[in-house]
Amino acid sequence: MSTLSDLVHQHCESSEEDIEWLHFLVGDWQLLADLAFADVVLWVPTVDDSFVAVAHARPSSAATLFYRDVVGSMVRSEWYEQVRNAYSTAHIVESSSPAWFEEMPMKVRAIPVIRRTSDGEDGRFGPIAVITAHTNLSEARMPSRLEAAFTESANDLFLMIAAGNFPDWGTPTGPRRGAPRASDGLLRLDVDGTVTFASPNSLSAFNRMGFVDELEGESLAEITTSLLVGNHSVDESLPVVVTGRAPWRTDLEARGVTLSIRAIPTKVAGERTGALVLTRDVSELRHQEQELITKDATIREIHHRVKNNLQTVASLLRIQARRARSEEAQEALGQAMRRVAAIAVVHDTLATGLSQSVNFDEVFDRVLMLVAEVASTHNTTAHPRKEGEFGVLPSEYATPLALALTELVTNAVEHGLAGREGSVTIVAERGEERLQVTVTDTGAGLPEGQVGAGLGTQIVRTLIQGELGGTIDWHTIVGSGTEVTIDIPLRWLNATS
């Protein structure tokens, strides 16, 4: 399905500022549908004097009229004149008689969408789109007090949309996880911040926080103040939210209960007349978020400590290598030190991020720094060079790959380029399903068909074939040098998608 931007660009001549405003409006699409007990459709004028639907929301508070999505379709002939009149007059247009859709009677209301610039009241433009609200009349009955309050709230928002006062540029973008919805709890405030209506869910939420009286007729600011006695951690935006003066969101915490609160000031002719306040008990969600934060911090600390311990082990091996009397012992301890240091680099990278994946290019650049130490001990001048990108890899891949490449590059410098000057080139080719790595040196090369049987070769085979499920191949380049090719399947992509 095409996105709002795609449909507007395809059918219309709307500006980027208009599209931004429509995206802003659609951010509250579900709220409008739920409050109005109606399907809401956003129509944008096309270049051929028609209207195309670019957004649609079904109400969770009532049965939908449209079982198939209307996004991308042109306005039906039965609604065209009403939509056209709302667009041309910049006034809300009610249907004069019930309309029918698939044998279902409906009431249609067309609301012009006015855009206002972010610099204040004087930046109002003409209509840029039209909203139609489709109410199912087959379920018409005497509305309850809750339904009447929802409908009145929807009317307030529709009037504000037609006046360019909703959405508000001050509203934070990107709804936070657990943002309150109409069905979670609704309060209506007058201009002084007094509660004129409280839904049962909102009353229950405040009861859980310790407020046992009725909300209606009370000042919401005074109620929250009484609940926060002794609480030294209070969001600085709370006062303007509970008084309904600012279009903002905040959390209210008391007695182990966390209430997410969002205020939507209502306006008529630019003057504030009160506010809608949405509430939702998000205690469990916030608890889960805190547990995740604690878990992430714990994992990072573990990686940090592992890195420190590995670096300590590497330092001990380096000291032991310097004190070893035989060259064979020094070489073995030096190789062990470099292997431990390569693993430490991965844990150091993991300790600085929130995810358990690493940018392997950064890891490998640090691993290559070990080459200089190897070269210096063998009277060798090595010029390492990396081409291509490894990309982001999970730690399950990063650690064995870093260790395997350390072995290969070290072996190329230590044996292939021993006592001479040359280059070691590492080429990474990352695809959607495979990672191919080639390590090439300009050294003496291997006798064709003969691969070393030392500990390093065994380690590389075990890591590539056993842990990563890949393949590895050694062969001599014609003339001189050795080329090692590694092919690793990236099965983790499918596992995590």
Q: In angstroms, how far is CA 54 from the centroid of its own chain?
A: 23
Give the C-alpha separation, 61 to 184, whole Å: 11
For 40, phi then psi, to 5°, come to -115, 135
- Please report the pLDDT score of residue 353 as a whole number: 67
CA distances 83 to 76, 147, 304, 358, Å, are 10, 26, 62, 53
Amino acid found at 195: V
Q: Closest Cα to residue 289, out of 301, 297, 279? A: 297
Helices 360-367 and 395-411: angle between axes, nearest 10 degrees: 30
pTM for the whole thing?
0.65
Asked if residue 133 lies in contact with residue 42, where contact means CB atoms within 8 angstroms, the answer is no
List, for residues 375-401, the tens digit of each pLDDT value.
556 667 778 888 999 888 888 888 888
- CA proximity to 83, closest of 103, 104, 106, 111: 111
What's the confidence (pLDDT) of residue 343? 79
Residue 131 has what pLDDT? Answer: 98
Per-residue model confidence (pLDDT) at position 497: 43
Cβ(252)–Cβ(234) below 8 Å: no
40, 61 in Cβ contact below 8 A?
no
Q: How far apart are CA 142 and CA 336, in angstroms?
A: 81
Cβ-proximal residues to 155 (8 Å cutoff; 6+ apart), any chain: none
pLDDT of residue 345: 79
- Enter the tokens of residue 270: 């630019």
Contact 8, 53 (CB under 8 A): no
CA nearest to 435, candidates 394, 475, 385, 478: 394
- At residue 422's C-alpha, the angle toward residues 420 and 424, to 5°, is 135
Residue 417 CA to chain centroid, in angstroms? 48
Helices (H), 196-265: 200-208, 220-227, 238-242
Closest alpha carbon to 411 in 359, 320, 494, 338: 338
Say what the pLDDT of residue 320 is. 86
Q: What is the pLDDT of residues 205-217, one digit of tens each?
A: 999 999 989 999 9
Distance CA 376, CA 360 (A): 26
Q: Rounded CA gap, 246 and 240, in Å? A: 6
432/66 Cα distance (integer angstroms): 39
Neighbours of 286 (CB within 10 A): 18
**Separation CA 411–CA 423 (nearest Å):** 13
Phi, psi (deg, nearest 5) at residue 390: -80, -35
**SS3 category, 464:** helix
DSSP label at 228? T
- Which residues of the chain register pLDDT less than 70? 1-2, 118-124, 140-141, 172-178, 230-234, 353-355, 370-379, 418-419, 445-453, 478-479, 492-497
Query: Going by C-beta distance under 8 Å and a sequence separation of 6 or more, which residues neighbour residue 9?
Result: none
Pull the structure tokens for residue 266: 């209502």
Q: HEC profile for 40-79?
A: EEEEEECCCCCEEEEEEECCCCCCCCCCCCCCCCECCHHH
C-alpha to C-alpha distance for 248 and 246, rounded to whole angstroms: 6
**Token couple for 222:** 């005074």
Instruction: Give residues with Cβ within 8 angstroms of 445, minimum separation 6.
Output: 416, 476, 477, 480, 481, 482
Question: Residue 496 region, left (φ>0) first, then alpha (ψ -120 to 50), else beta?
Answer: alpha
